[in-house]
């Protein structure tokens, strides 16, 4: 005990309870597990974004379509991925459900099979969507097969001009990450990614800031960011495609994978 305990007991102890309240032990365990899970949430999100951005940029370059994501666009995506995602996912608060699991111990894996399933699943999903937007074109008219009135931006690459087509690729990519950030809130057996979302105002604020800044970049970014203003229909297409991340993530969580011993949950009974 930090208050009533003797100096001899404090010097011999491994842990000192500063407020003499044994409930503090429960809170410390909850916060310890919460911090560990928040690190895993950020890793899951960051690895997904990295994999998708690398594949799309590489395939686009080697297929003579040019890099569909410019350097400034990738810089904005990295800002979402690193700084803002770290703040959003790193500030999630602990819940009593964290006590349903066993301690992960010193040998606990930071990236488990659940996370690999989510990373690879969302990576494959996002890559397929972006490739469909980039390559699904009519051979004769070069019109997009997904978006009415949108034509290939390949010819604009040589003249270094922005196009509606590549702006759609960039905008959809960002909204895929916005909704994937919400999906990354749960890295264990939970399936409801919206549970407790409003208890973290920082997370909600960052999602809102990301959306507002993305609108400004697309609408007024112009030649500097290589974007052109989009119509309401095209904005709706981008947002709906990004939203598909959430139902896809729900069904992805139904795929069984091997669990670590500490990932298995038991019923918690409050004493």
**Residue 267 in domain:** no
Tell me the CB-side half-sphere exposure of residue 132, using CA atoms within 13 A.
13
Domain residues for the domain of 237 are: 23-94+108-257
C-alpha dist (Å) from residue 138 to 40, 127, 134, 143, 157: 42, 20, 12, 5, 19
- How far is it, in rounded angstroms, from Cα 37 to Cα 75? 27
pTM, two decimals, is: 0.89
Angle at Cα 230 formed by Cα 224 and Cα 234, nearest 5°?
140
Report how far residue 214's alpha carbon sits from residue 25's, in angstroms, rounded to the nearest whole number. Answer: 43
pLDDT the model gives residue 39: 92
Q: CATH code at 68?
A: 1.20.1110.10
Number of domains in the chain: 1
pLDDT at 267: 59
Q: Pick from 12, 30, 9: which is nearest to 20 by CA?
A: 9
* Whole-number Å distance between alpha carbons of 126 and 225: 22
Q: Is residue 153 part of a domain?
A: yes
**Within-domain flag for 51:** yes
Q: How many CB atoms lie within 10 A of CB 105?
A: 9
**Any idea which residue has 């919400």 for tokens?**
182
Alpha-carbon dihedral sign for residues 214, 220, 226, 229: positive
* Residues in a beta bridge with 265: 101
CA–CA distance, 118 with 134 (Å, rounded to integer): 24
Domain assignment present for residue 2? The answer is: no
Residue 266 lies in a domain: no
Q: Which residues pair with 101 in a beta bridge?
A: 265
Cβ neighbour number for residue 198 with a 10 Å cutoff: 9
Q: Is residue 263 assigned to a domain?
A: no
For each of the chain's 271 residues, which pLDDT tens digit applies?
888 888 888 888 888 888 888 888 888 889 989 999 999 999 999 999 989 988 988 888 788 777 788 888 888 888 877 788 888 898 898 888 888 888 887 777 889 999 999 999 999 999 999 999 988 888 888 888 888 888 887 777 666 788 899 999 999 999 999 999 999 999 888 889 998 898 899 999 999 999 999 999 999 988 888 899 999 999 999 999 999 999 999 999 999 999 888 888 875 544 3
């Amino acid at each position: 005990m930090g208050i009533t305990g003797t100096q001899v007991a404090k010097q011999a102890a491994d842990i000192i309870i500063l407020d003499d309240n044994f409930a503090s032990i429960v809170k410390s365990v909850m916060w310890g597990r919460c911090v560990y899970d928040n690190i895993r949430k950020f890793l899951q999100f960051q690895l997904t974004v990295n994999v998708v951005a690398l594949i799309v940029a590489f395939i686009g370059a080697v297929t003579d379509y040019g890099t569909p994501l410019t350097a400034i666009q990738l810089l904005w995506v990295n800002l979402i991925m690193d700084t803002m995602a770290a703040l959003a996912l790193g500030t999630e608060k602990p819940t009593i459900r964290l006590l349903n699991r066993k301690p992960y111990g010193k040998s606990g894996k930071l990236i488990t099979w659940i996370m690999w399933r989510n990373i690879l699943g969302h990576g494959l999903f996002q890559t397929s969507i972006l490739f469909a937007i980039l390559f699904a074109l009519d051979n004769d008219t070069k019109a997009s097969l997904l978006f009415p009135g949108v034509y290939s931006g390949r010819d604009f690459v040589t003249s270094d001009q922005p196009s509606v087509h590549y702006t759609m690729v960039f905008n959809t990519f960002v909204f895929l990450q916005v909704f994937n950030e919400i999906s990354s809130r749960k890295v264990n057996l939970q399936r409801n990614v919206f549970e407790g979302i409003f208890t973290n105002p920082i997370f909600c604020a960052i999602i809102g800031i990301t959306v507002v800044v993305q609108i400004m970049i697309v609408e007024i970014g112009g030649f500097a960011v290589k974007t052109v203003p989009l119509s309401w229909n095209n904005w709706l297409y981008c947002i709906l495609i990004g939203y598909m991340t959430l139902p896809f993530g729900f069904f992805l969580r139904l795929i069984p994978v091997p669990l670590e011993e500490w990932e298995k949950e038991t019923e918690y009974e409050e004493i």
